[in-house]
Amino acid sequence: MRYKITLKPLQPYLFGGDNTFGEIGDKENGTYLVTSRFFPQQSAILGMLKKELMIQNKLLTRKIKGEWVDKNNTQEANEFVGSEKFDLNKKELQNFGVIKNISSIFLQKDNKIIIKKVNLKKFPLKKVDDNYVLQNFDGKDDIFDNYESLDETLTFKAEEIFKPIEQTLNQKKASENSLFKKTSYLLEEGFTFGFFIECEYELRDSIVTLGADRSSFILKVEKSNETLDYKSKYLLLLGDSLITLPLNEHCDFAITSEISYKNLMGKKSSMSKSSDSKKNKQNNHFLKSDEIYLYEKGSVIINPSSKLIDNLNNKNLQQIGYNIYTIGENK
């Protein structure tokens, strides 16, 4: 079954980057300035869905002291949503049980899908001899601050969509330098997040949590055969993408932005605050995966090589919404 999922935040959210994990002020694991990203990572969407599916299928025990899968439900839970944690570096297709495919996340307003896209209307590309030039472009302009509906009738800047909520807070259990600034976001009136999912379980409406602050979202489910269908003159990344080839050797020109990807590793039950993270990864309370940089959704690549296309076509990444792109007729 295919569904369209709508997520509406009920409170400010803090979507992770590498500055939302660990101890505030720690040079390796934290920062005094914590700022949310606009969008959640696709791996966070997968984790939220796995948890919600187990709740709806009564496989997850929830009590005041925590949540867990009882031993007598372990095998069924593993078959239902898979036993593996998503691994960005895996080449082979991972098994996530009834979750078969997740699209890249997008925005919605007035029943229209809105995607992030380099602004080539304001700064059109022009080929001069063997080079490409962005016309009217000034270094002060942010060519990435552009969000368009698929039918190109609506255009927005980030400030029209994402409302910053700033707080100055005091870190708990800190003796000095304990103040830090946190910037969360809310969506402006009328905007929601959305994505498509292929799932072999009848998912229902619910309230879910996402982000470092476990912010609440309304999850609305509707059956739909709709897809993230968009054609672009140039290769356009619809989802954050891992490209392991040197881009400058495999295309004529590119307009890209990068974001870092990190996630927590290990199980909480096997972590210890007193352990040495360098000696024992399983016992590091704040252990993060190695930092990897992804090309951000909305980036554009001109005349990609066949090797670059093959590199993008990583089925394991694409099944949860990474490495999704479009290229086709002129727009």
Rounded to two decimals, the pTM is 0.85
pLDDT, residue 235, reads: 96
Range from 8-22, 180-194, 271-285, 303-317 carrying the lowest mean pLDDT: 271-285
d(CA 99, CA 78): 12
Q: pLDDT confidence of 297, banded at 50, 70, 90?
A: very high
Compare 292 and 28 and report the one with higher pLDDT. Answer: 292
pLDDT, residue 280, reads: 42
Q: pLDDT confidence of 68, banded at 50, 70, 90?
A: confident
Q: Minimal CA–CA distance to 144: which of 42, 228, 236? A: 236
- Per the rule left: phi > 0, alpha: psi between -120 and 50, beta: everything else, 298 is left
Average pLDDT for residues 228-248, to the nearest whole number?
93
pLDDT, residue 212, reads: 86
Q: How many CB atoms lie within 10 A of CB 118?
A: 24
Q: pLDDT confidence of 268, banded at 50, 70, 90?
A: very low
pLDDT, residue 24, reads: 47
Q: Which two tokens stand for residue 15?
A: 């979507």
Average pLDDT for residues 103-131, to the nearest whole number?
94
Q: What is the DSSP string of 258-300?
A: EEEE--B-S-GGG-BTTS-TTT-GGGBTT-BPPPEEEEPTT-E
Q: How many angstroms separate the most distant Cα atoms in the chain?
A: 68
| 40 has a pLDDT exceeding 60 | yes
Q: How many CB atoms lie within 10 A of CB 39?
A: 22
Q: Return the SS3 of 93.
A: coil
Average pLDDT for residues 46-64, to the nearest whole number?
88
d(CA 115, CA 324): 12
pLDDT, residue 172, reads: 58
pLDDT, residue 61, reads: 76
- Give 286-295 pLDDT, tens digit per residue: 345 567 889 9
Range from 78-92, 128-142, 219-233 carrying the lowest mean pLDDT: 128-142
d(CA 320, CA 40): 13
Average pLDDT for residues 168-176, to the nearest whole number?
60
Q: Minimal CA–CA distance to 12: which of 220, 305, 216? A: 216
Compare 275 and 244 and report the one with higher pLDDT. Answer: 244
pLDDT, residue 130, reads: 84
Long-range contacts of 57-63 (CB under 8 A, 24+ apart): 57/201
Asked whether the beta carbons of 204 and 58 are under 8 A apart, the reply is no
pLDDT, residue 139, reads: 77
User: Could you tell me the residue ranges of all domains in the chain?
Assistant: 1-110+154-229
Long-range contacts of 174-181 (CB under 8 A, 24+ apart): 174/24, 174/25, 177/25, 177/32, 178/24, 178/25, 179/32, 180/24, 180/25, 180/31, 180/32, 180/33, 180/34, 181/32, 181/33, 181/34
Range from 164-168, 244-248, 323-327 carrying the lowest mean pLDDT: 164-168
Distances (CA, A) of 325 to 115, 158, 308: 12, 21, 12
β strands within 137-234, DSSP E: 147-149, 155-156, 162-170, 179-187, 192-199, 206-210, 215-223
Q: Minimal CA–CA distance to 103: which of 2, 214, 22, 32? A: 2
